[in-house]
Structure 1
Amino acid sequence: MKGKDADPSKIPFLRFQKYSTKVQRRRLLQRRLSESLRSNWEKRAIMQSNEHTVQCQLWKKSTEK
């Protein structure tokens, strides 16, 4: 009786703890991934917009002459 009571109370909790840490780690990794992807997209967008403005300025200069 004591052994049966001790096992179910301890083991599932430990399992749950392990599982929760795994899930938390995975969520953290996913969040970091999404953040890095977002920053990369933002950098790319900024670079593209900068290129676009430069091209517009060059085009304006060429049309002004």
Structure 2
Amino acid sequence: MRCPARSPRVAALVSAGLSWAIEFAQLGEIPPVLRPLLGSTFNPPDLLWYAVGAGVACAVHTVTRARLAR
């Protein structure tokens, strides 16, 4: 089994950045068709939890990659 070619840091930063972008987009008007997918209410604590989730994913990615390299 191969690990993705992306570095764990890049993957974490991209995923956190996209999550933050969607969260900040909720400050504006979300079209009704996209509300079930993107949500409609900005919640500042979500920004922290997106960063925490990206950090955990980065750690798991790093450990998995190191184990598979052996």
TM-score over 0.5 for the alignment? no
By relative contact order (CA 8 Å, sep 6+), the higher-ranking structure is 2
TM-score tier (shorter)? 0.3 to 0.5
Higher share in helix: 1
- Give TM-score, length-normalised by structure 2: 0.39
